[in-house]
Amino acid sequence: MSKPVVKLLLTLSLLCIIPSFLFALTGDEVIQKMDEMATFETSVSTGSIKTTDRFGTKISTFKAWARGASDSLIEFTSTAERGQKILRTQSSLYLFYPDAEELIRLQGAALRQSVLGSDLSYEDMTEEKNTLDSYTVVLEGSEIVNGHDCHVLTLTAKKRTVAYPVQKIWVDKQTYLVWKAEYSTAQKRLLKVMEVISTVEVAGRTLPSETKIEDKMKRDSATWMTLDSLEVNVPLAANLFSLENLTW
């Protein structure tokens, strides 16, 4: 191979490497992209929460509406919880219990209570998609999860009010879907593991259609969250996220 050809090949290689250094994503950028891909202008979905333990399975079904990063309304449609609704907007959570016609407003720590005995909290189900507000992020490297090349990131809470002080997440490099997550205490004690079982393509984005969350503090306990239907960027009534609609 002649010197000019070698020189050309080296130059071309440098031209390829330098851009990859210049444009390599930071951990914050991966998280921002991840949040963007999980946030739609509006969405309407139906799904179920299936909780298993030693005695069997309990299933709760719901219908959910969401707008942006912080407004969400969930109505439970299964028998035992029929008509119960949760409205989350900014810093407050409103619960409506139709049997007692009772409207309850909660703030702070109450957001972390379990939803219907599942491994999910109200905060999990209605969380604001602004991860960087609550966590500092370190990009640890890459790993293959279920055949998907993923960024591996460690999230450490900035404030004490989050549900999980430490998270380790595997984010798909192509779709920015979180394939797996490990939730731990501040002392790195593993609490829960989340895995995406199946996905669905919606509006050009890959979203989880079935997710499994295992409680590592208990034997034989897991929660499956399944999306049966999902419509995105659909028109929603202006008063959907209001007390009037919550108590309707």
Range in contact with other proteins (rule: CB under 8 A) among 11-19, 100-108, 136-144, 225-233: 100-108
How many Å apart are CA 89 and CA 111, to the nearest integer?
Answer: 12
How many Å apart are CA 24 and CA 117, to the nearest integer?
Answer: 42
10: helix, strand or coil: helix
Nearer to other proteins, 112 or 205 (CB): 112
Binding status of residue 82 toward other proteins by CB under 8 A: yes
Q: Which of 11, 26, 113, 136 binds other proteins (CB under 8 A)?
A: 113
Distances (CA, A) of 128 to 15, 45, 68: 40, 17, 9
Binding status of residue 157 toward other proteins by CB under 8 A: no
How many Å apart are CA 34 and CA 119, to the nearest integer?
Answer: 23
Q: How many binding residues for other proteins (CB under 8 A)?
A: 45
Binding status of residue 101 toward other proteins by CB under 8 A: yes
CB 244 within 8 A of CB 71: no
Write out the binding residues for other proteins, residues 229-248 only, by CB under 8 A. Answer: 239, 241-244, 247-248
Write the CB contacts of 18 (distance below 8 Å, at least 6 apart in sequence).
none
User: What does the binding site for other proteins look like in residue numbers (CB under 8 A)?
Assistant: 51, 53, 55-59, 77, 79-80, 82-83, 91, 99-103, 105-110, 112-114, 117-119, 163, 185, 189, 191, 215, 217-218, 221, 239, 241-244, 247-248
